[in-house]
Structure formats: C-alpha cells, structure tokens
Homo-oligomer: A and B are copies of this chain.
Amino acid sequence: MKKIINDPKDVVEEMVSGLVSAYPKYVKQLPETLVVARNDDYDQVALVSGGGSGHEPSHAGFVGDGMLSAAVCGQVFTSPTPDQIYAAIKATDKGKGTLLIVKNYSGDVMNFDMAKDMADMDDIQVETVLVDDDIAVEDSTYTQGRRGVAGTVLVHKILGGFAREGKSVTELAEYGKELVQDIKTVGIALSGATVPEVGKPGFTLADDEMEFGVGIHGEPGYRREKIKPSKEIAEEIIGKLKAEFNWQKGDKFGLLVNGMGGTPLMELFIYFNDAKKLLEADGIELAFTKVGDYMTSLEMAGASITMIKLDDERARLLNEPVHTIAW
C-alpha cells in the first residue's frame, strides 16, 4: 500500500483537520467530533448527510450555503456512529427541523435512524430521504435494495436549494422521496481501492480487465470483461439507464459523469463526450451537465454516469450558485 498518509488509524481525523483548516470560510469542525458544519449564519431547515469516509469530496465538500448544513464523517467505508450524527443534528438545528439525506446502506440506515430517535426526544422534527440511485444491482454487500452513490450529490443540491428558499422539512421530505426515484446511476471500475487500515485492495482486476456496475466500496458489479473503448462502455451504460427511465424524444435530463478518485479528468471528459452523443441521438435535452470527482472510492480508477429527470425547477436549482468547497 502506497499512500500519502501517516498512521492508517488516523486518516479520517487528519483529513477532517486538513479540510476545515484549508477552507475556514466555508466550514468548521464541531469540537470532539468528525462533523463538518457550515461556518456561516442561516435560518432554514438543516440538511445533514454523511456516511463512511473515502468518498471525498462527499459529503463535507458539499457543506455550505445552498447545500448541506453538516456532513458526518465515518471511518473509511464505515457508517458514522449515532452519537456523531446526533451531534450534527443538535448543532445545526434552527428550530425548523432537520432533513437527513442518507445513502442506502444498512449501517447508515440504522445509525441515522438511531440518531433521529435521539433527536425526537429533544423535540427536533427529523425527516429522512433515502437515496438508492445505483441501478447496477439489486441487494448488494452492505445493502438491502439498491445502493446510494453519486446521485446523492444531486439530492444535496436540489433539496439544499429548496431549503434555502424556505421549504419546510415536511415538504422537503415529501419532495425528496419523489426526487430520488428520478435519479439513476451506473458505475464502472478499472481498479480496486485500498482501505488504509486493511492495507490491500478490496478487489483486483487484471491489467486488461474492467468491471461493470461496481459499487463505491468495491461491492461487486454485474460483469467483468476486457477493457472496451469508451464509446462501447457508454453505449452499455446509457442503454441500462434508458431501460430504467424509458425516456422519449424531447425529455429533459441532467447528466453527471463522476470520477471514482483515480481517473484523470481527461478520461472523464471523453466518457462524457460519448455519453452525451448517445443522448443527443435519442433526442434528449440536457439541461444540466457536470463532470468531475464528486462521489469517489478512495483511489479507485473508474467512473459513474448519473442521470436525473428534470423539469424547469430542478434544472434551475441544479444550475444556481452555491457556496461550498467542491460543487
């Protein structure tokens, strides 16, 4: 294992320390926690997300005006504990309730739910939106149902925009439940990732091999084969998304091509270029596009394609400025 780290046990603590000290105008660390919270004043429903670390810039990079109020950083690929999530809820509560945005993994679901119970006793109204955008497989290693992956960042953005505009926590939760049904993602991997405390890759691929449908913790996908040209990969992935959305000519969508951590931007732009051409050929109107590392898996080489069904309001919210480290 070659990484720019110190003791593998300390990676999350040192990362959070580095992140908040690099970007004090956006974020602060809640004392005695691994919670990254907004460092400015606001008066709205609080949005709290988080999960295991190793997916940076998710979620701390999306804390700030127009997106999250706080992100709870678990250990690498490990759900944050309920007391940490509860601390985030307490610290960001403005008396208007809290919306939890949770990726669908069993550990996260359980721990965010326990934190919600703790906050209920403080009479904080807490609602939850569960994100399960990964259509590659159904139940997976850490998941009942579909996994939550890069589409989560779009949920942060749209619900963050609505929260800033004054929507209630009940409205946000109701809207969010519909929203997540309109967001779908499929990933591919060219290499595995190494959790620092484990010291070896979670899976390995041969020098000429790729895997379709891999999760962001190295969970198995649906097929391994020889590496193919970007165009052919895009054809397969866009085909899977089309089968789910069943889109028609003229439909409006957003397209996010997300890097997994070890893939250079050059490849992401090429992959985007191929995906976009296929969508144009189908007559899809793209009202939002984004390319870069948003929901990563440590140093894994690979990328995911997320599509989101848009109307004018969603497109507006996705395109409007926010004040965060990484959007």
Seen from chain A, the residues whose Cβ lies within 8 Å of a Cβ on chain B are 2-7, 11, 14-19, 21-23, 53-54, 56-57, 61, 188, 190-191, 207-210, 227, 229-231, 233, 257, 261-274, 276, 289-293, 296, 298-299, 301, 303, 326
State which of B5, B190, B207, B292 has its C-beta within 8 Å of the C-beta of A270.
Answer: B5
* Bound CA–CA A227/B229 (angstroms): 34
CB <8 Å contact, A289 and B4: no
Interchain nearest-CB distance for A223 vs B (Å): 16
CB <8 Å contact, A56 and B266: yes
Residue of A188, A190, A266 contacting most chain B CB atoms (<10 Å): A266
CB <8 Å contact, A22 and B291: yes
CB <8 Å contact, B229 and A270: no
Tell me the number of copies of this protein: 2
Residues on the B chain within 8 Å of A22, using CB: 257, 269, 272, 276, 289-291
Interchain nearest-CB distance for A46 vs B (Å): 24
CB <8 Å contact, B261 and A19: no
CB <8 Å contact, B4 and A303: yes
* Bound CA–CA A103/B258 (angstroms): 29
Q: Which 4 A-B pairs have the closest CB atoms?
A: A18-B273, A18-B269, A56-B265, A4-B267
* Bound CA–CA A7/B228 (angstroms): 11
CB nearest to A265 among chain B residues: B56
- In addition to A15-B273, A262-B264, 15 A-B residue pairs with Cβ atoms within 8 Å of each other are A2-B190, A2-B191, A2-B210, A3-B267, A4-B267, A4-B270, A5-B267, A18-B269, A18-B272, A18-B276, A21-B276, A56-B266, A262-B262, A263-B299, A266-B298
* Bound CA–CA A210/B290 (angstroms): 33
